[in-house]
Structure 1
Amino acid sequence: MNITNDKNISVSKKAKDVKSTSEEWDASKIVFRVLLLVSCFKILLIPTYHSTDFEVHRNWLAITYSLPLKEWYVNIKSQWTLDYPPFFAWFEYFLSQIARFVDDNMLKVENLNYASFNTVLFQRGTVIFLDLVYAYGVKEIGKVFCSSFDEYLIFIVFSLCNIGLLLVDHVHFQYNGFLLGILLLAVANVSKINKQVAILPGTLLFAILLNLKHIYLYVTPVFIVWLLRSYCINEGSFFRRLFALGSIVITTLIISFGPFASQLSQVISRLFPFKRGLVHAYWAANAWALYIGVDKATCLILKQLEWLKSTRTAVMTGGLVQEQAFLVLPSPTPAVTFLVTICTMLPALYCLLCKKEYTNPKQFVRCLVLCALCSFIFGWHVHEKAILTAIIPLCVLAATNKNDARIYIILSSAGHAALLPLLYMDNLTPLKILLISVHMIASFLTFSRKFDTGLLYSYEYLYVINLPVLTVYETIVHKLIFYEKLPFLPLAFISIYCAVGITYSWVVYYYMFLRCSDADDIKKKGQ
Structure 2
Amino acid sequence: MEEPVWFAGISTCVKLLLIPSYRSTDFEVHRNWLSLTSSLPLSRWYSDETSPWTLDYPPLFAYFERFLSLFARLVDPKMVDLHQGLNYSENSVIYFQRFTVIISDLCLFYGVYRISRNLGVLQRRMVMGLIVLSPALIIVDHIHFQYNGFLLGILLISISYLEEGRDLIGGFFFAILLCFKHLFAVAAPVYFVYLLRHYCRGGFFKGFRRFLMMGAAVGVVLAAAFGPFLCHGQIQQVLRRLFPFGRGLCHAYWAPNFWVLYIILDKGLGFLLSKVGFNIKTPSASFTGGLVGDSSPFTVLPQVTPLVTFVLVLLATSPCLIKAWRNPRPMLISRWVAYAYTCGFFFGWHVHEKASLHFMILLSVVAIKSLKDARHYFVLAIVSCYSMFPLLFGAEEYPIKVLLLLLHALLMYSGFIQQFSKSAASSTKGDDSTKGFKEKAVGSTNGDQVIVGWVGTCYLLGLFVVEIWGQLLQSYIFGDRFPFLPLMLVSIYCAVGIMYSWLWQLRWIIKCS
TM-score, reference length from structure 2: 0.90
Look up the match of 1:501. 497
Look up the match of 2:445. none
- Please say if residues 165 and 176 of structure 1, whose CA atoms lie closer than 8 Å, have aligned partners that are also in contact: yes
Provide the aligned C-alpha RMSD in A.
1.8
- Please say if residues 341 and 379 of structure 1, whose CA atoms lie closer than 8 Å, have aligned partners that are also in contact: yes
Q: Distance in 1 between matches of 2:341 and 2:288?
A: 26
Q: Distance in 1 between matches of 2:128 and 2:468?
A: 29
2:39 paired with 1:66:
yes
2:284 paired with 1:316:
no
Look up the match of 1:78. 51
Q: Distance in 2 between matches of 1:317 and 1:92?
A: 28
Q: 1:319 to 1:140 in 2, by over 3 A?
A: closer
- Please say if residues 85 and 214 of structure 1, whose CA atoms lie closer than 8 Å, have aligned partners that are also in contact: yes
Look up the match of 1:221. 189
Matched letter for residue 498 of structure 1 = C
Look up the match of 1:352. 324
- Please say if residues 407 and 509 of structure 1, whose CA atoms lie closer than 8 Å, have aligned partners that are also in contact: no
Q: Distance in 2 between matches of 1:319 and 1:463?
A: 31
- Please say if residues 283 and 297 of structure 2, whose CA atoms lie closer than 8 Å, have aligned partners that are also in contact: no
Look up the match of 1:524. none
Q: Distance in 2 between matches of 1:245 and 1:414?
A: 38
2:303 paired with 1:341:
no
Structure 2 segments unaligned to the other structure (5+ residues): 422-440, 442-449
2:274 paired with 1:286:
no
2:140 paired with 1:168:
yes
TM-score, reference length from structure 1: 0.88
2:373 paired with 1:400:
no
The equivalent position to 2:78 in structure 1, one of 98, 105, 111, is 105
2:392 paired with 1:423:
yes
Q: Distance in 1 between matches of 2:452 and 2:210?
A: 44
Look up the match of 1:250. 219
The equivalent position to 1:137 in structure 2, one of 111, 127, 131, is 111
- Please say if residues 135 and 160 of structure 1, whose CA atoms lie closer than 8 Å, have aligned partners that are also in contact: yes
- Please say if residues 282 and 319 of structure 1, whose CA atoms lie closer than 8 Å, have aligned partners that are also in contact: no
2:485 paired with 1:511:
no
Q: CA deviation at 1:455?
A: 3.4
Q: Distance in 1 between matches of 2:41 and 2:382?
A: 45
Look up the match of 1:489. 485
Look up the match of 1:23. none
- What secondary structure sits across from 1:486 in the alignment? coil
- What secondary structure sits across from 2:396 in the alignment? helix
Q: Distance in 2 between matches of 1:120 and 1:484?
A: 34
- Please say if residues 373 and 506 of structure 1, whose CA atoms lie closer than 8 Å, have aligned partners that are also in contact: yes
Q: CA deviation at 1:432?
A: 2.2
- Residues 268-287 of structure 1: pairs in structure 2 closer than 5 A: 268-287=239-258
- Residues 368-383 of structure 1: pairs in structure 2 closer than 5 A: 368-383=337-352
The equivalent position to 2:154 in structure 1, one of 165, 182, 197, is 182
- What secondary structure sits across from 1:399 in the alignment? helix
Deviations 1:122-154 (A, max 9, x none): 00000011111101100000124x2x1101011
- Please say if residues 101 and 146 of structure 2, whose CA atoms lie closer than 8 Å, have aligned partners that are also in contact: yes
Structure 1 segments unaligned to the other structure (5+ residues): 1-27, 518-527
Look up the match of 1:522. none
Q: Distance in 1 between matches of 2:122 and 2:282?
A: 60
Q: Distance in 1 between matches of 2:262 and 2:282?
A: 21
Identity %: 42
Matched letter for residue 402 of structure 1 = L
Matched letter for residue 187 of structure 1 = I
